[in-house]
Amino acid sequence: MATRLPASAELGVTAVLIALGSAMLFGAFAVYRRKRGADIALRTASTLAMGTPSFWFALVMLLIFSVQLGVFPGPEGRLSPTMAPPPTWTGFYTLDALRAGQFLVFLNAVWHLLLPAAMIALGPFAFLSRLFRGQLRNSAREPFVVVSRSRGLRRGQVFLRHVVPNSVLPLVAATSLLFAELMTGSVLIEKVFAWPGVGSATVDAILAKDFAVVQGVILLSAALYVTVSFLADITYALIDPRIRVGS
């Protein structure tokens, strides 16, 4: 479990970062440019991403990018078989490699992370980008947007300083739940990419009727949910002054 949890967590964190980053980027672009085409493209992409089974799409991507084009590694886990893991510090290979100064190991770890993380990020990206787009559109209609512009702010300034900050709150809530979910691993994606994480460990444990492991995983994920929700609540108060309590 000591190596499995960091493996899943590293994948999960990367996936959340990819999903959140691209969702904010695409959502903001679609709303700000007010181009029908961009908006339709975003909604089509997110609908497709939501509807596509990620393990199947992962297999297709493996076929294209690994087997055919060879730009991404095959299902060989976290590092190339010839590469030794960096000395353990956090258990995240990328961070550990950087700390040890093993730059090639770092690159190799990132290279192995990207495809599975992107596949996990697919569903969350679709969900988050739609959520963000809706929030942005609502915030952009708030009276203070026109008021700010009447004071001499350009549309872009108002968008970045007022519309976006007022739209990220629900994103925090949604991301925190996704985070808790992804930290304990994605069963199918881990299987497809031979990722030595919690998800594949759980499957093995269930098949072996090793219930101690299953119970451990459940306890772990419960603890994660509580912790992450707590952190999200704190983030809320940091973003929105109206939520702060006390003096």
In contact, 2 and 91? CB cutoff 8 Å? yes
Q: Which of 149, 191, 196, 229 binds another protein (CB under 8 A)?
A: 149
Residue type (1 letter), 74: G
Structural contact between residues 12 and 113, judged by C-beta atoms closer than 8 angstroms? no
C-beta closer to another protein: residue 141 or 219? 141
Among 63, 219, 223, 239, binds another protein (CB under 8 A): 239
d(CA 132, CA 7): 29
Output the smallest distance, CB 101 to another protein, in A. 41
Cβ atoms 11, 195 nearer than 8 A: yes
146 lies in the site for another protein, by CB under 8 A: yes
8 Å CB contact between 115 and 65: yes
Smaller CB distance to another protein: residue 19 or 31?
31
Q: Does 240 bind another protein (CB under 8 A)?
A: yes
User: Which stretch, 52-60, 148-156, 173-181, 203-211, contacts another protein (CB under 8 A)?
Assistant: 148-156
Q: Does 147 bind another protein (CB under 8 A)?
A: yes
37 touching another protein, by CB under 8 A: no
204, two tokens: 């093995």
Select from 53, 161, 204, 223 the one that contacts another protein (CB under 8 A): 161
Q: Which of 83, 155, 203, 220 binds another protein (CB under 8 A)?
A: 155
Distance of closest approach, residue 33 Cβ to another protein, in angstroms: 14
Residue 170, judged by CB atoms within 10 A of its CB (0-12, 13-18, 19+), counts as middle
Q: How far is the CB of 236 from another protein (least distance, A)?
A: 11
Q: Which two tokens stand for residue 27?
A: 């959502």
Q: Is 144 in the site for another protein (CB under 8 A)?
A: yes
Closest CA to 123 of 15, 237, 13, 244: 15
**CA nearest to 137, candidates 2, 205, 43:** 43
- Smallest separation (angstroms) from another protein to the CB of 130: 21
Q: Which stretch binds another protein (CB under 8 A): 82-90, 91-99, 122-130, 239-247?
A: 239-247
Which residue number, 119 or 171, has a Cβ lying nearer to another protein? 171
H helical segments located in 152-246: 155-158, 169-183, 187-192, 198-207, 211-239
Q: Does residue 151 touch another protein according to CB under 8 A?
A: yes
| Residue matched to tokens 């949604």 | 174
Q: Please tell me whether residue 135 binds another protein under the rule CB under 8 A.
A: no
Q: How far is the CB of 145 from another protein (least distance, A)?
A: 9
- SS3 readout for 206-227: HHCCCHHHHHHHHHHHHHHHHH
Which stretches of the chain bind another protein, using CB under 8 A?
Answer: 141-144, 146-155, 161-162, 165-166, 239-242
